Amino acid sequence: MDEAGLLPIGDVAEKFGIRTSALRYYDELGLLKPAGRRAGRRWYGAAELRRLVLIQLYADSGQMPLRDVARILTAAPDDRVSHEVIEKHVDALDRRMARLASARHYLEHHLNCEHDNPSRCPALEEDLRKRADEIIG
């Protein structure tokens, strides 16, 4: 860190566990602009580091592609696009969490089932029949 509180691109990449090429790509997308440049190197301050944390939160926690993160972060303050993008990802996360909860339920049942082989479990067989019937119609 220099006297102005700025970090060079290599230090930022190392601390955040990403490549310097990712930071340059974020710059190209308009997601993250460096606070300044010195001798051709990008330098980042506290505001840019907080924005990088936000980018990573959206990308990791929200499982968003960078194009959606860019749509959120570059939207005008009165533009609803950021809310629409976030709502889409919240809905997708809800669906995924429901599928994961269902999978967990079945796996826990298999662990605790009195039948050694889950394919011999009457409760599972009945549920599988109902699900197949729903799919077939």
Is residue 1 very low, low, confident or very high in pLDDT (cuts 50, 70, 90)? low
Backbone angles phi, psi at 107, to 5 degrees: -65, -40
Percent pLDDT > 70 in the chain is 98
The pLDDT, as a whole number, for residue 119 is 73
Neighbours of 82 (CB within 10 A): 16
Tell me how far apart the alpha carbons of residues 13 and 110 are, in angstroms, rounded to a whole number.
Answer: 44
The pLDDT, as a whole number, for residue 101 is 95
Give the pLDDT confidence of 8-32 residue by residue, as tens digits. Answer: 999 999 999 999 999 999 999 889 9
Tell me how far apart the alpha carbons of residues 76 and 85 are, in angstroms, rounded to a whole number.
Answer: 14
Average pLDDT of the residues in 65-73: 90
Is residue 3 very low, low, confident or very high in pLDDT (cuts 50, 70, 90)? low
Going from the C-alpha of 3 to that of each of 46, 91, 130, the distances in angstroms are 13, 45, 68
Quote the tokens at residue 7: 């970090």
The pLDDT, as a whole number, for residue 61 is 79
Give the pLDDT confidence of 81-121 residue by residue, as tens digits. Answer: 888 999 999 999 999 999 999 899 888 888 888 877 777 88
